[in-house]
Structure 1
């Protein structure tokens, strides 16, 4: 059994737009990568209304999609990557790879496919409890991945060295 991989995406959602703005994912050794994502023009609504999203920050600090796609191809090839199942993660991944005219190199599955001894409500309660216990902001993708890593560890899903 190999170490499970996890992914979480922070995103912007308005009436006219849905696109990723930050992403975190875990690596085989349990380490994490986090990026802010520079949006592509076709994701942005014509009226420019993005609520409280700072487009200048994303443009200045964000990683271009070509770099993000390259990193994901390097880090997660032929993997099943687990998500909390609460967000439109598959849609967001499709947006990223479609913009680069590529297929995602990994499959997305909900955490309920990995941790099968608990129902989705119990898993979500445990995830929220871990975020609270660790004093982590739930909207940050790296914190979402960290909570999923902790849950996998609690369920003995990591290889022992």
Structure 2
């Protein structure tokens, strides 16, 4: 059974730009991948520091953009990938792919395009309640993807275990 795929990006916002710092995505078999992103130098503010983030952690644990882009090309080719619709995911994806001179191999769409019988506000309320019920930290992208997977399962788009 081919499952819908989901993606979530954690980012830091400065006065001048958005900086993606972590990303998670699901695969059509239900597995999930997550990475910390090594920011590009030209994304960084003039003082070289991102507010509320440990730059050293990003430098040590982060994955270079070219590796992330390569993996996304392998994992999500020619697919529609669903996002919660709350974050500027399309801008962040464009930023990541344009930094290495590639086009995204997938199309982003809001979860509201997958689950069409609920309005956007109800979908967000349900996603938020899942996060609370499961004790998920909303700032971790893997938790955002997990919540969307659970929401899709509740809506009958995936087989329950």
- 2:140 is matched with 140
The CA deviation string for residues 2-44 of structure 1, in whole angstroms up to 9 with x for no partner, is 3100000000101123111000000011110000000011111
Per the alignment, residue 122 of structure 2 pairs with: 122
Report the count of equivalent residues. 161
SS of alignment partner, residue 72 of structure 2: helix
Moved over 2 A (4+): none
Match of 2:11 in 1: 11
Unaligned runs of 5+ in 2: none
What is the alpha-carbon distance in structure 2 between the residues aligned to residue 151 and residue 30 of structure 1? 13
Equivalent residue number for residue 57 of structure 2 = 57
- After TM superposition, the score normalised by the length of structure 2 is 0.96
Q: Quick check: 2:2–2:29 contact (8 Å CA) kept in 1?
A: no
Measured in 2, the distance between the counterparts of 1:53 and 1:127 equals: 26
Question: What CA RMSD, in Å, does the superposition of the two structures yield over aligned residues?
Answer: 1.5
TM-score when scaled to structure 1? 0.96
Measured against aligned partners, the alpha-carbon deviations of 1:106-129 in whole angstroms (never above 9, x if no partner) come to 000000000001111000000010
**Are the equivalent residues in 1 in contact too, given 2:82–2:108 (CA < 8 A)?**
yes
User: Is residue 2–residue 159 contact of structure 1 (8 Å, CA) maintained in 2?
Assistant: no
The unaligned stretches of length 5 or more in structure 1 are none
Cα deviations by residue, 1:21-73 (Å, 9 ceiling, x for unpaired): 00000001111000000001111111224211111110110000011001100
